[in-house]
Amino acid sequence: MNLDLFIPEITLAAFAVLVILLDLFVRQKSLLRSVSLAGLIIAGGVSVAMWGGDYLPIFNNMLAVDEFALFFKLLFAGIAFLVILASADYVNKFERFQGEYYALILLATLGMMLMAATADLISLYVSLELTSISLYVLVGFLKDKKSTEASLKYLLLGAIASAVLLYGMALVFGVTGETQLGAIASSIRSMAPVAVLDSPALIIGIVLMIAGFGFKIAAVPFQMWVPDVYEGAPTPVTAYLSVGSKAAGFAIILRIFFSAFGTPFWLSENWGMIFAGLAVISMVVGNVTAIPQANIKRMLGYSSIAQAGYLMVGLAVMGVSMLPSSGSALAFSRFQGQAGVIFFLASYALTNLGAFIAVIAISNKLDSDLIADYSGMGKRAPLLALGLTLCLISLIGMPPAAGFMAKFYLFSAAVQNDLLWLVIIAVINSVISAYYYLRVVKVMWFGEAASAEKVPSSGAPRFALFVCCLGVLLLGIIPGLLMRLAEVAGRMFGF
């Protein structure tokens, strides 16, 4: 059974149960946070220790243990760790349910780890639902009108997206007779192009799967849930959704579309162009709609839609560059595109988490998410304002922040693959995004403070913000280490 290769997931499941049991007996609820953090540290440490081993399928080829899966397991553990730290002050809003909150974060992280490791459509669906159900509950944790409405909307639209995805998977299974990703790829390669075109069920199945995953990564036109859910959910949950759910969605898209649908070239080229089209409309709609937003959580929600568009530029690169060309410049640019998406996801996680951690600390004190109420925050909470400013600059893609290097890697790979038109649109959208990001910066540093009262926060959120800001700066100045790790993780595609 190779259970030793499943230790990170077992650890998170065990600690989730432990947190729920401890919640029944302990009065000092901060202990629950410490136990949850310990579980994430152990799971992340085991993932690091497993790095460098040989590729091994486990559970009858249902899950893969390779550098790609381990990279994302470590990333998800890190995201959950920072979110729990950032929640230290906020959890007082649902004091009676702190145990359930931490346990659900651990279970959602477990589901994301399984998504990154899945090598079969059945295990994919199970892991996806484990993550989704945990997030549905977390979104409604405040139990007020906005939170309940957000949770219900997320649940209903998520159920529809899940049904669309499942129907697409059923069509793919119906055509190929396989659920294992490698076996699906072999079945498609054995089919003549004429046979595939005469039986459009495979193409429809792939399109439906793109639609289902589009919901998870908040791509237009599947993004309708984002603004209301981001605004209504507890802010730490919004932060977790914005980076964890998106990273998990892209991880599974990478594995499925390159393990199962990477060949023949005409197939990958077509789904690559679909992602290019989705990238354009996501960037445009996300950035343009973010401009008039008065609520910072809604603004960051539309921003995340635009960021999904930038990430899909990398998917488009990988799709159109799958033409067999071993050792050629085209093969190298394809590999650069794969590593670029992984690097972008890691840098985006640090950047967006940092922005939300600052928002959590400020909004928790102000009891408001309105951008106008952030006026003069540079005087009331200079460190929080400085951290938020750095993260917003990174989201624009300006040096020396990590966002600049992330976009540089992706856009250069796109240019090498004759997608200059897509890069031009992405750059124009980056310029547009500067307007609403810098508007927040202007309000914080040049606006008139409504009060001279300071904005306090405990040590845990401040430490989480420091880690994010330090990571944003280091990845912007010396990105080589993470890029090398991303390149190693990208080798699971066989290039």
Mean pLDDT per segment of 10 residues, for the chain of length 495 residues?
A: 81 94 85 92 91 76 87 93 90 83 94 91 92 92 87 91 93 90 87 73 91 90 88 90 91 88 79 92 94 91 92 87 53 63 90 92 84 87 91 91 89 87 93 93 86 79 92 90 80 55
Strands (E), 374-447: none
Identify the pLDDT of residue 386.
93
- Measuring CA to CA, how many Å separate 256 from each of 95, 124, 165, 193? 40, 10, 13, 20
Identify the pLDDT of residue 222.
87
Identify the pLDDT of residue 1.
57
Q: CB count, 10 Å around CB of 159?
A: 12
Which residue in this structure is represented by tokens 């800001």? 469
Helix pair 459-477, 402-416: axis angle to 10 deg = 40
Apex 396 CA angle, 391 and 401, nearest 5:
50
Asked whether the beta carbons of 244 and 79 are under 8 A apart, the reply is yes
Residue count of the chain? 495
Identify the pLDDT of residue 285.
94
Identify the pLDDT of residue 480.
83
Identify the pLDDT of residue 454.
81
Identify the pLDDT of residue 427.
94
In sequence order, the β-bridge partners of residue 63 are 58, 118
Residues 218, 213: Cα–Cα separation, whole Å: 9
Residues 252, 258: Cα–Cα separation, whole Å: 10
Asked whether the beta carbons of 441 and 392 are under 8 A apart, the reply is yes
Identify the pLDDT of residue 30.
81
Sign of the dihedral defined by the CA atoms of residues 421, 413, 353, 22, in that order = positive
pTM higher than 0.85, yes or no? yes
